[in-house]
Each structure stands twice: as C-alpha cells, then as structure tokens.
Amino acid sequence: MIPAKPLPQNLAQRYAGWRATTYSENRGWYRRLATEGQRPLAMVIACCDSRVNVTSIFGAEQGEFFIHRNIANLVPPFAPDGDHHGTSAAVEYAVQVLHVPHLIVLGHSNCGGVQSCYDMCAGQAPDLEENATFVGRWMEILRPGFDALSDGAEADRRTAFEHQAVRISLENLMTFPFIAAAVEEGDLALHGLWTDIGEGGLMMYDGLTDRFTALG
Ligand SMILES: [Zn+2]
C-alpha cells in the first residue's frame, strides 16, 4: 500500500477558499487557459527555496512563466547519456516545444543549497562527499565556481558563490546544442538574475563585463 494520507484540514480549507473566490471570480479566464494551451513569455529556473516567490516579484499570472525549480537553481551540462535528467528535460520542452523567447536563471540570497556546496568545497561537510547524498552530488555542478571566488569576508564569498550558481548555469545552458542554436538565431535570450530576499533587491548578470549589477 502506498502511504498517502488525506490533505491536512488547514490546506483543504485554503483550497476551498481559493475555489470559492479567486477561481470562481475568474472562471472564464481559467477555462480559456485550459483550452488555448500555454504560451509562456519566459522560462524561469529558480531554487526550490520557499522564500523565492518567482511569480510575485514579476507580478506574473498563470500561463506567463514556465518554471522549473531545483536545489540552487542549477543547470547541469548537456549530457545525452540516457539517464534521468529533470532539469534538462524541462529546458528542452521550454525551448524546443514551447519556443520561449527568454530563459531566466534566478539565483537568490541566503541559499541553503549554495551554502552546503560552500561547506563541502571548504572541507567542512564530508558527509556531502558521499554518493548516497543527492544534494552533495547535485551540487558538484557548482563546485568549479568555488576556486573562482576571491578572498574576503565569508558572507561576501557566499553571495559571490550564489552569483556563480547563476553564471555556471548560464554557461551550461550554452552546452545544449538546441539552446546555442536558438541563441545564435536570435530566437532565445538568456538572462541571469539574483534576488535579495530580505531587501527585495534584484541584480542582473552582464555577460560583457562578467558582473552582477543592481537592476533599477
Ligand atoms: Zn536556494
């Protein structure tokens, strides 16, 4: 038997509230969304962190963003090895099938995934070196960025490592032949962002200068 339980009462109540208000007031719009299919204006790759509210910071509605979330918003390099690649599958669908014109990698402050990679690279988390930890092996994608960090206060180095997570993901996206081709054709634009949860700030990666600068 699969041990699936009924939804807790508080969540069931929240759903009932949404159905009675937001949904019922916009029924026609939801039905159009269902029948007309999706034409998202961008794909966003963000961290699983519950504090990163991807749609909220852009004031986006359903149907506008094709969102993939994983630990530390990482994209692995192109690896057609027959294995299970969730992030690569999402990227492939967004670019090849939905033809999204923009692909945004959204990093964030206080990222627990990046912190664990930082500890692992600093030799302070030997358990993350084990093959049995999925987080440890997933964070290998970011490991090359550790050596690129300049000296300084640990908090600054952690932020710089979060920026590296965005930068390395953008680099890895370009190893997918269909992405490189779409970028070359001008059909797809890549973007790198990093959001400061506490301050509500947004920084943007500039490929020309290889730096992050504040937006707005
Ligand atoms: Zn995170």
Residue ranges and CATH numbers for the domains of the chain are: 1-37 (no CATH), 38-214 (3.40.1050.10)
Which is the catalytic residue, given 31, 39, 81, 108?
Answer: 108
Which is the catalytic residue, given 19, 32, 51, 211?
Answer: 51
- How much is the pLDDT for 9? 98
49 an active-site residue?
Answer: yes
d(CA 168, CA 173): 9
d(CA 84, CA 75): 14
* Cα 164 to middle of ligand 1, angstroms: 13
* Cα 200 to middle of ligand 1, angstroms: 15
What length is written for the chain? 216
- How much is the pLDDT for 118? 97
d(CA 33, CA 27): 10
Its pTM stands at: 0.96
196 an active-site residue?
Answer: no
48 an active-site residue?
Answer: no
* Cα 207 to middle of ligand 1, angstroms: 22
d(CA 186, CA 102): 10
What is the SS3 assignment for 102? strand
Give tens-digit pLDDT for 30-83.
Answer: 999 999 999 999 999 999 999 999 999 999 999 999 999 999 999 999 999 999
- What is the band of 127 on the pLDDT scale with cuts at 50, 70, 90? very high
51 an active-site residue?
Answer: yes
* Cα 111 to middle of ligand 1, angstroms: 4
d(CA 70, CA 107): 11
Which is the catalytic residue, given 49, 117, 163, 167?
Answer: 49
* Cα 182 to middle of ligand 1, angstroms: 28
d(CA 52, CA 202): 12
d(CA 163, CA 211): 9
- Residue recorded with tokens 């890895």: 172
- What is the band of 142 on the pLDDT scale with cuts at 50, 70, 90? very high
Give tens-digit pLDDT for 152-203.
Answer: 999 999 999 999 999 999 999 999 999 999 999 999 999 999 999 999 999 9
111 an active-site residue?
Answer: yes
Closest C-alpha to 46, from 70, 78, 65: 70
d(CA 13, CA 34): 24
What is the SS3 assignment for 123? coil
How do beta strands 189-196 and 201-206 pair? antiparallel
* Cα 184 to middle of ligand 1, angstroms: 30
Burial of 183 (0-12, 13-18, 19+ CB in 10 A): middle
- How much is the pLDDT for 88? 98
